[in-house]
A and B are shown apart, each in its own frame.
Chain A
């Protein structure tokens, strides 16, 4: 008598386990999902869940310290009823767009220099670029406060050179100070993607372009620039998306005229103690940034097709 016939229950269980294992091994999508499962779980609990909670919260109302847990669009109507919120959101997008443009324009020549002109020790140059960003973000923002402040480096320098008699007050606490600080803080995030896309360009294409009679400038415009556009787009998105919602820089160097939408959201979750309205402003900001990014991607896609 076999062991299976002695214990039929155990035999059924082992055959079920075998069939599950067989099905798992034969199914490629199932194996793929199981390999992805740690990432999927992290994304689900770390990203999707908080966003869903935020989205749900935006439909509730705040009654002093309690939430009124009934569906309401009051927060969204409040946002559009008070023009200050839309104005600050638009200002944030304007500042971020300016920061992105300046950062990418300044980063491109640097990335080009490392990718094309440096023959050896490229790693040293890359480390040189990233070293200042090993310090805390907050410290770098404070460093700009020291630079642009009333008794800061710029004012002290100009005063000691005899160019000014009184310290300049317009250097700090305005949108320009926010833009300079953000452009500095996000510089490395712009250089690295552009450098990678430039490094990947097949050098024989450039040689072919020169052989076919293009000069260096036209060769750059017609070959290098279009081929490096993925890096430029990645750099633009890497700078634009986080800077729209930044609240540390505007609160330290922005002053009253330099506040951005991040400061409003932070105050809603802090001093104002209106979490649902803060959540609604966050959702509207996210949707606006998504729309801007889609518009930007569509525009660059059209531009690339037009150039090609």
Chain B
């Protein structure tokens, strides 16, 4: 009977797969995050206007 590896002890391949998925997902996931960021110039202009 084959022993199943417990999830908290991942194999080298599993670790590689997670790193690889991070590589392909990270840039794409940063796009929506950046959509909430304000452009510095417009932010500074608004601060000046409010002052």
Partner-B contacts on A (CB < 8 A): 106, 109-110, 112-113, 117, 125, 128-129, 131-132, 135, 139-140, 142-144, 146-147, 153, 184, 187-188
Contacts and interface: CB of A to CB of B under 8 A. Distances in A.
A153 B20 contact: no
27 contacts: A106-B20, A109-B13, A110-B20, A113-B16, A117-B11, A117-B13, A117-B14, A125-B17, A128-B21, A129-B21, A129-B24, A132-B25, A135-B28, A135-B31, A140-B28, A142-B31, A143-B27, A143-B28, A146-B30, A146-B31, A147-B26, A147-B27, A147-B30, A153-B30, A184-B24, A187-B23, A187-B24
Q: Is the interface of A mostly helix, strand, loop or mixed?
A: helix
B34 interface: yes
Interface string B5-18: 00000010110110
B27 A184 contact: yes
Contacts of A139: 28, 31
A117 B27 CA distance: 27
A112 to B, nearest CB: 7
B30 A143 contact: yes
Nearest to B21: A128
Contacts of B17: 110, 113, 125
Given A109-B13, A132-B25, A143 B20 contact: no
Contacts of B30: 143, 146-147, 153
B33 to A, nearest CB: 9
Contacts of B11: 117
Given A129-B24, A184-B23, 13 more contacts: A106-B20, A106-B23, A109-B20, A113-B14, A128-B21, A132-B25, A132-B28, A139-B28, A143-B27, A143-B30, A146-B27, A146-B34, A147-B27
A291 B14 CA distance: 39
Interface in B12-51: 13-14, 16-17, 20-21, 23-28, 30-31, 34
A229 B50 CA distance: 65
Contacts of A143: 27-28, 30-31
B30 to A, nearest CB: 6
Nearest to B17: A113
Contacts of B31: 135, 139, 142-143, 146
A110 B28 contact: no
Contacts of B13: 109, 112-113, 117
